[in-house]
Structure 1
Amino acid sequence: MSGHQAAAQPAPAPRSGPMGRGPAGGGAPTAKALNFFPSAKRLLGTLRQDMSRIVWVIILGVISVGLTVIGPKLLGEGTNVVFAGFISLRFPAGTSKADVVNQLVANGQTTQADMLRSMDFVPGAGIDFTQLGMILAVVLAVYLFGSAFRLVQARILNVVVQRVAHRLRVQVEDKLHRLPLRYFDRVQRGELLSRVTNDVDNIGQSLQQTLSQVITSLLTVIGVLLMMFLISPTLAFIALVTIPLTILITVLVARRSQRMFAEQWKQTGILNARVEETYSGHAIVKVFGHQQEVEQAFREENAKVYRASFGAQFVSGIIMPSMTFIGNLVYVAIAVVGGLRVASGQLSIGDVQAFTQYARQFTQPLSQLGSMANLLQSGVASAERVFELLDEEEQSPEADPADTVPERASHLEFTDVSFRYDADTPLIDGLNLTASPGSTVAIVGPTGAGKTTLVNLIMRFYDIDSGSISLGCAEDGSDAVETRSMTRHDLRARTGMVLQDTWLFAGTIRENIMYGRPDASEEDMVQAASAAYVDRFVHALPDGYETVLDDEATNLSVGERQLVTIARAFLADPRLLILDEATSSVDTRTELLIQRAMLKLREDRTAFVIAHRLSTIRDADLILVMKDGAIVEQGNHHELLAARGAYWRLTNAEVDAPMDDETLEDPADAATTPGGPE
């Protein structure tokens, strides 16, 4: 076993949650200003796989809008029939239209004569109800078929949107598995959950509400504009005044609201992180009496969400009233000019009525497009947050072709290994270590010494900066290969982990034991459970191994949960083990069972044990004493006691006292204090 002479390096500053305690998570990432057009273009690019459906959506939209646009013109013709019928009753039957017009001209009523000259009526005939009924029947059919086509369009569009949201969720899920552990150290869990759930859901809702409306509104504007020009180019140009005003207002509001929506979703993610952390540690909060501080912190974050949301909605809400005001001005202009043209005989009253409806249909889509801007801004802001996650740097690629080692490989060797979490803070520097097959390596040291980092490097949760970690079968390491040249899956399949923070999944106890080896037989599962003493408590449960674990497996004690994880490791039967022996949260009897189970688990396996109680690792083949990422001592229990160094001082410290830097200091280097070690 080679020694280690690397100089001790300062450990990185401890990370904490946003409340200064709880799991490390770091703050929410700083959201950059929303880059609308690239993000919107990329979001639309997600629709490419459904282009055939989009084409059908457009075709059905054209048919639906076309039928809807015909309606006002037909109703205008019906109005002309009714108006002509009323006018005809004012003149005696038997006279002709020409006689009536000539009589009005002779009487000097030229305006009325011009209006009647353009009308189609028979004096004294009254309303033609047959013609009116036919027109109304056609209108009913037009609107009925238009609604049917729109319903089919909405159905297809819903499929498109749900497929897009589903693909985004799959991409995000796949991305999470490819992200390095550094990312999860940096980003709070609540912030990450907000992107995975809230933002993806918001994208789906925004697309659902905006895509259909945008397509329908654009087609409606085109169809209505065509009909308005057919009726009266003059009135059509008056209606067109709304377009530049609408664009101007929308652009001005969008520039302001896009930043506010980005801030809104950022603050929502931070609030989610706050709630998640508080809920996870609610018992600790109550024990230490920090309810008021937690409530105050929540109120502050909630107030930030309120201000960001209120500002975004208030600014985006300016669009609709502005569009309504512009539309009302247009109606006034159309009524005045249209009335003059009816009086001069240039338009029929039915045409003016139809044009008024078209003007409303024309301004309404423009108003809706304006109001859609805030939804679109919100959706694109969420899309950008999701794309930021998808664009995060992934863990280093697997070796191609990858090396393999036999499943029994358990000889592990560190050679000049260096690692740092960030460029300015070295943690492990020049580490050399050899673990022979079947040996037990115990790692002791204070918090921040690098114990957990060491095992994370073995598992390739992090990749080392320099040096090598090799795995093989031979005692001399002659057949060893670098773990970086293996696939992560191949490496981890040969490694088992039993940590202090046990993690059990939703499901039965049986499913959790078989998690690492789903194809195991019932006999193998029962043997693993028996070896880990799970059978001692599982038979007392009403459903035995079929007991369904509730949220966070709270229907099992802490010790029982750890025994289940040990059984899981037994069943997987790895040659390389990583064990965390902390058992401070369990009763004495269960602690003894856990220690016995771990001792049996270590038999004939190479085990790395993160030790918190020295009494549990006295039989270890090699004990590493770590401080600031460096191995300050190594050897077996008797060798280290004889050296009367850091390990000796630990064993002479108070029983079960926490390991700290002062315990490891040489008395000759520390100030002399009463009661200190002699």
Structure 2
Amino acid sequence: MMRGNYLNRGGKGADRFQKGRRAQNFFPTIIRLFKYMRRDLWGLLFSILIASLSVILSVQAPKILENATTVIFDGVTKSLKNHTAIQIDMTKVESILLYVMVIYLISFISGILQQSIMTRISQRTVYTLRREFKNKMKKLPVSYYDSHSNGDIMSRMINDMDNISGTLNQTLIQLITSLLQFVGTIYFMLTISWQLALVAFITVPLAMITVRIVAPLSQKFFAEQQKNLGLLNDQIEENYAGHAVIKTFNHEASAEKEFAKRNDNFYKSAWKAQFVSTLIYPTMRFVNNLDYLAMAVIGGLKVISGTVNLGDVQAMLQYTNQFAQPITNISNMLNTIQATVASAERIFEVLDEKEMTDGIPVSEKVADESSKKAVSNLGATDKTDFINFDQVAFSYNENQSLMTDVNFSVEVGQMIAIVGPT
């Protein structure tokens, strides 16, 4: 006789009853992800080094071009003042422009080189993750597959892995270079005119407020999008695999209805995620345009008053765009990073699952000692003529009972199957 309530983790389709997740352990997940890049540490450091070189050179360009503008401006104003033909030192201008061209060329080559290195590192890292994921799937108990949909597992293996690959390939280095560009731009702006630099700095608090509001919402919606994508993949995989069964039992209408429901849920969550994430860029561009306008007006007034020259204003206008660009990039990258961390958590959830053990698994949640004894005696048909199942209850999930008060007997030699709606 067997009496008791046997519980297992999850539940068939348990994910479909969960709310949209967000990254619960942001920094621990990032640290764990970086551990997979340890064997490529030197390549990563070299990539960061050449990317930093590229940024440092490109940030210097407006400061150098300022000299060319000043040479042209001084030549024109001197000629107008003396009522003579315009005389500009073109040799000096050409040397400055050639120097800037070399800087941009080195920056371009450095960018290609670091991108090539990061592509290799990201692919090796994701390859290691995929290999561990595949090996883990071989060691998971049947209860895990019974409590998780095939579509959700496929989504973690494919979509979440692609998210991580894209972030490591593009976003990681861009985040570092954007920070360097931000700091370098501030430095050169302060060396030109600290008064004009303050005009650009006014937009920083507004940018931070925008990120503070949008980033958490975007993270939440991206996590929900990935969850709904997994459910949609589950429906598609199940329908294709069981196409003959659906046709045989005339379940086309119900299958279409369920697909439409999941597709609509995915559409809504994806629309929210993409809409919220794209709010940052136009907002930051609007703020930057206001800043650019203020810099042009105030800079022009200072040129008229003689406190700064035209070359300084020209450089400050360029730096104003460069100053806003890393803020905008970082804001957009934060959304990508949030989505990637959520994807990494979904993968690590699988890697952290308990593996199969030898023998008959006995749940820690078996109700009483008599139930444990009954489970341990399963298969002892050589000592008894039958096994009674008396008021047995079963569920994968405490909140969703699958069997309640089930009673039947199994005689020696019989094969019994308990078939549910799935």
Matched, 1:130 2:120: no
Which of 1 and 2 has greater Rg? 1
Pairwise CA distance, 1:381: 1.4
**Given the alignment, which residue of 112, 116, 133 partners 1:155?**
116
Scaled by the length of structure 1, what TM-score is found? 0.53
CA separation of 1:132 and 1:328: change in aligned 2, threshold 3 A: same
Conserved in 1, the CA contact under 8 Å of 2:225 and 2:269?
A: yes
Conserved in 2, the CA contact under 8 Å of 1:73 and 1:354?
A: yes
Q: Which residue of 1 aligns with 2:15?
A: 28
Q: Which residue of 1 aligns with 2:401?
A: none
Give, as a single letter, the amino acid of the residue that structure 2 aligns with 1:40: I
Pairwise CA distance, 1:434: 7.5
Conserved in 2, the CA contact under 8 Å of 1:418 and 1:431?
A: no
User: Separation in 2 of the partners of 1:182 and 1:39?
Assistant: 26
CA separation of 1:418 and 1:201: change in aligned 2, threshold 3 A: closer
User: Separation in 2 of the partners of 1:380 and 1:418?
Assistant: 33
Conserved in 1, the CA contact under 8 Å of 2:58 and 2:107?
A: yes
Give, as a single letter, the amino acid of the residue that structure 2 aligns with 1:152: L
**Given the alignment, which residue of 213, 217, 222 partners 1:261?**
222
Conserved in 1, the CA contact under 8 Å of 2:130 and 2:157?
A: yes
Conserved in 2, the CA contact under 8 Å of 1:257 and 1:312?
A: yes
Larger helix proportion of the pair: 2
Question: Cα RMSD (Å) of the superposition?
Answer: 3.2
Pairwise CA distance, 1:160: 1.7
Q: Which residue of 1 aligns with 2:297?
A: 336
Q: Which residue of 2 aligns with 1:79?
A: 69
Q: Which residue of 2 aligns with 1:226?
A: 187
Pairwise CA distance, 1:136: 1.3
Aligned ranges 1:483-562 → 2 under 5 Å: none
Q: Which residue of 1 aligns with 2:235?
A: 274
Q: Which residue of 1 aligns with 2:171?
A: 210
- Aligned with 2:378: secondary structure? strand
- Aligned with 1:126: secondary structure? coil
Pairwise CA distance, 1:278: 0.6
1:239-289 CA distance string (max 9 Å, x none): 122222222211211111211111111111111111111111001111222
Q: Which residue of 2 aligns with 1:70?
A: 60
Pairwise CA distance, 1:178: 2.5
- Aligned with 1:370: secondary structure? helix
Q: Which runs of 5+ in 2 are unaligned?
A: 388-405
Pairwise CA distance, 1:629: 8.6
Scaled by the length of structure 2, what TM-score is found? 0.83
Q: Which residue of 2 aligns with 1:423?
A: 366
Give, as a single letter, the amino acid of the residue that structure 2 aligns with 1:177: K
Pairwise CA distance, 1:39: 2.7
Q: Which residue of 2 aligns with 1:181?
A: 142
User: Separation in 2 of the partners of 1:632 and 1:421?
Assistant: 28
**Given the alignment, which residue of 212, 234, 251 partners 1:251?**
212
Conserved in 2, the CA contact under 8 Å of 1:25 and 1:189?
A: no
Q: Which residue of 2 aligns with 1:165?
A: 126
CA separation of 1:320 and 1:174: change in aligned 2, threshold 3 A: same
1:86-132 CA distance string (max 9 Å, x none): 22332447xxxxxxxxxxxxxxxxxxxxxxxxxxxxx6561222111
Q: Which residue of 2 aligns with 1:375?
A: 336
Matched, 1:47 2:37: yes
User: Separation in 2 of the partners of 1:444 and 1:202?
Assistant: 54
User: Separation in 2 of the partners of 1:305 and 1:422?
Assistant: 35
Pairwise CA distance, 1:223: 1.4
**Given the alignment, which residue of 265, 277, 286 partners 1:316?**
277
Conserved in 2, the CA contact under 8 Å of 1:207 and 1:379?
A: no
1:185-231 CA distance string (max 9 Å, x none): 21111111111111111111122231122122111111111111111
Pairwise CA distance, 1:313: 1.2
Q: Which residue of 2 aligns with 1:192?
A: 153
Conserved in 1, the CA contact under 8 Å of 2:51 and 2:110?
A: yes
Q: Which residue of 2 aligns with 1:18?
A: none
User: Separation in 2 of the partners of 1:177 and 1:418?
Assistant: 17
User: Separation in 1 of the partners of 2:112 and 2:211?
Assistant: 29
Conserved in 2, the CA contact under 8 Å of 1:8 and 1:629?
A: no
Give, as a single letter, the amino acid of the residue that structure 1 aligns with 2:23: L
User: Separation in 2 of the partners of 1:277 and 1:444?
Assistant: 37
CA separation of 1:432 and 1:156: change in aligned 2, threshold 3 A: closer
User: Separation in 2 of the partners of 1:213 and 1:659?
Assistant: 60
CA separation of 1:242 and 1:444: change in aligned 2, threshold 3 A: farther
- Aligned with 1:431: secondary structure? coil
User: Separation in 1 of the partners of 2:64 and 2:362?
Assistant: 78
Taking only the aligned residue pairs, the percentage that are identical comes to: 36
User: Separation in 2 of the partners of 1:179 and 1:188?
Assistant: 14
Pairwise CA distance, 1:660: 8.7
